[in-house]
DNA sequence: CCCTTGACCAAAC
DNA sequence: GGTTTGGCCAAGG
């Protein structure tokens, strides 16, 4: 199992639909926390990876400055997943990324 | 309990 | 524009 904090992060992230994005900062804020850095740690553990049949879309979480950020199974892989969902990415950055942000 | 480690962030340079 | 710096918070050793 995971800690209560991680579970809150995962359940919040589950609400982000295909083709939308959230940021580590927003995600933390949505669970009334400022631990955006710890959110990143939660993603890195990632017990319910999307590729592994889980329902937690970890690849839809990007940096608040519009850059894609990192990914446990490779940044390139994350970029491909996002593009596949219709999100335009140029040189590691989301284009017009505010248009794709999910509003909690 | 102290110390280290990060899929981070904002400000400063 | 980029890079560095200090701060942030939860987890694990």
Bridge partners, residue A67, by sequence: A93
Length A53 CA → B9 C1' (Å): 31
| Predicted pLDDT of residue A72 | 94
- Domains of chain A, earliest start first: 4-100 (1.10.10.10)
pLDDT of residue A52: 81
Q: What is the mean pLDDT of residues A56-65?
A: 97
Asked about A58 being catalytic, the answer comes back as: yes
Q: Annotated catalytic residue: which of A27, A39, A56, A58?
A: A58
Q: Is the pLDDT of residue A1 over 90?
A: no
Report the candidate in A13, A18, A1 with the shortest Cα–Cα distance to residue A40. A13
**Which pLDDT score, from 0 to 100, does residue A12 have?**
97
Question: What global pTM score does this model have?
Answer: 0.95
In angstroms, the CA of A33 and the C1' of B1 are apart by: 24
Tokens of A45: 């553990």
Q: A67-93 pLDDT, tens per residue? A: 999 999 999 999 999 999 999 999 999
């Amino acid at each position: 199992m995971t800690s209560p904090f991680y579970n809150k992060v995962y359940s919040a992230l589950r609400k982000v639909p295909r083709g939308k994005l959230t940021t580590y900062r927003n995600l933390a804020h949505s669970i009334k926390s400022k631990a955006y850095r710890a959110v990143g740690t939660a993603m890195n553990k990632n017990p319910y990876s999307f590729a592994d049949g889980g329902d937690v879309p970890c690849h839809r979480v990007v940096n608040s400055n519009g850059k894609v950020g990192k990914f446990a199974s490779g940044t390139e892989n994350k970029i491909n997943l996002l593009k596949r969902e219709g999100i335009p990415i140029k040189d590691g950055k989301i284009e017009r990324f505010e248009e794709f942000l999910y509003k909690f």
